Amino acid sequence: MYKKLIMKNNKNNLSRPDKHGYYGEFGGAYIPEMLFPNVEELQKKYKKITGENSFKKELSLLLKDFAGRPTPLFHAERLSKEFNTNIYLKREDLCHTGAHKINNTIGQVLLAERLGKKRIIAETGAGQHGVATATVCALRGLECIVFMGAKDIERQAPNVARMKMLGATVIPALSGSQTLKDATNEAIRDWINHPHNTHYIIGSVVGPHPYPDMVARFQSIISKEIRQQLLKETGDRCPSHVIACVGGGSNAAGAFYHFIEEKKVKLIAVEAAGMGLTSGKTAATTQLGTTGILHGSKSLLMQTADGQVTEPHSISAGLDYPGIGPLHANLFKQGRVLFKNATDEEALQAAFHLAKTEGIIPALETAHAFAVLKDISFKKNDRVVICLSGRGDKDLATYMTYL
């Protein structure tokens, strides 16, 4: 009976969790007991603090003058002509530090300050979230510790150098596959050991409640701006389609957020198929995943029959994650969002094509969103918005091997 009520509640509002942090059957907070005080503090305070006028003012000023918002909504003429429709690019690549991630880190640092936390920890895979976190910590004079898989530290040297230059301490995670999920485990361990003075900034819409909701709200500025910009440009706030790539799902959550209840807007998420869905080297969670618990919440994840998390693969480090946030797991299950996928090869081709067609070099993650354009049939007067989540400077070493 109780469960049914929750389900019904969530059918009416797919963008927000119930008070226990569930989106339908997904979400919640599955954490070690030692973390209860920290997570409960966040659960109790995040809405109140972020709802205060002084918080909103400070956040919007930093988003404007430090991050560079609003980001443009760019009408991509040559791409539009090619697909015989109207394509608009939401230019998150023009944010300070080169991607949407800073929207969330600014918000969470302001929240940490109000919680009286002077020490910030974060996990990072490609280093984009680590750089965004180190950047805002430098701005506010906070101690910053970033956990990163030892293998990723080797692969992402420029971002490691950036974090260090910004004053952060980068700690290698030496366990397991020495990649993102191991760095996340190290960050959780550190939080357990420093419960009083430390805030853990999670970089996507994953983790225990309230993180998925909190991060989605901070990223929802993306769709808020799209509505205003599209209204001005076309007289209608709603696009026909919104397309975004999905790792944990934060840029997609931000780009979809204010359209989730607008049923006429088609929402399309693109996962990394890696070498192909059946290759065993993939990160297409909704296609291969089953329900389980990863990093503090119940969601879809890729795992073996006995519950071992499967090693994911994607050419883009930001999509190389074996799970997906609970918001997206529910949107997938309810059929509100269409989940497609693109292989490494398709993403590479899409990146080179966008560079030559529109003069924009996208991040490899972002390129996945462009790779599905060829598989969708658009009408002449459709208005298609693609979330251009980040720029490709960080991926030049990969792109260079294909030139």
Ligand X SMILES: *Cc1c(COP(=O)(O)O)cnc(C)c1O
Closer to ligand X by Cβ: residue 208 or 318:
318
Q: Which of 80, 178, 204, 314 binds ligand X (CB under 6 A)?
A: 204
Contact 261, 226 (CB under 8 A): no
Element (H, E) at 160: helix 157-165
Q: Which of 363, 371, 372, 384 binds ligand X (CB under 6 A)?
A: 363
Whole-number Å distance between alpha carbons of 307 and 89: 39
Closer to ligand X by Cβ: residue 298 or 391:
391
Q: Where are the alpha helices (DSSP H) in 315-363?
A: 326-333, 344-358
Largest distance between two CA atoms of the chain: 60
Contact 393, 156 (CB under 8 A): no
251 binds ligand X (CB under 6 A): yes
How many residues appear in the chain?
403
> CB neighbours (10 Å) of residue 211?
31
Whole-number Å distance between alpha carbons of 2 and 284: 33
Q: Is 255 helix (H, G, I), strand (E, B) or coil?
A: helix
Find the part of the chain contacting ligand X (CB under 6 A) among 58-66, 194-202, 226-234, 363-371. 363-371
φ, ψ for residue 365, nearest 5 deg: -60, -55
Find the part of the chain contacting ligand X (CB under 6 A) among 61-69, 225-233, 283-291, 361-369. 361-369
Residues touching ligand X: how many (CB under 6 A)?
19
Find the part of the chain contacting ligand X (CB under 6 A) among 13-21, 285-293, 305-313, 360-368. 360-368
Whole-number Å distance between alpha carbons of 204 and 69: 20
99 binds ligand X (CB under 6 A): yes
Nearest to 83 by CA among 400, 301, 384: 384
366 binds ligand X (CB under 6 A): yes
122 binds ligand X (CB under 6 A): no
128 binds ligand X (CB under 6 A): yes
Whole-number Å distance between alpha carbons of 345 and 353: 12
Find the part of the chain contacting ligand X (CB under 6 A) among 40-48, 52-60, 241-249, 296-304. 241-249
Which residues inside 150-179 make contact with ligand X, applying CB under 6 A?
A: none
Closer to ligand X by Cβ: residue 383 or 391:
391
Q: Is 362 helix (H, G, I), strand (E, B) or coil?
A: strand
Q: Which of 153, 246, 265, 386 binds ligand X (CB under 6 A)?
A: 246
Closer to ligand X by Cβ: residue 86 or 373:
373
Residues assigned a catalytic role = 101, 123, 389
Q: Which of 274, 318, 322, 323 binds ligand X (CB under 6 A)?
A: 318
Residues that bind ligand X (CB under 6 A): 99, 101, 128, 204, 245-252, 318-319, 363, 365-366, 389-390
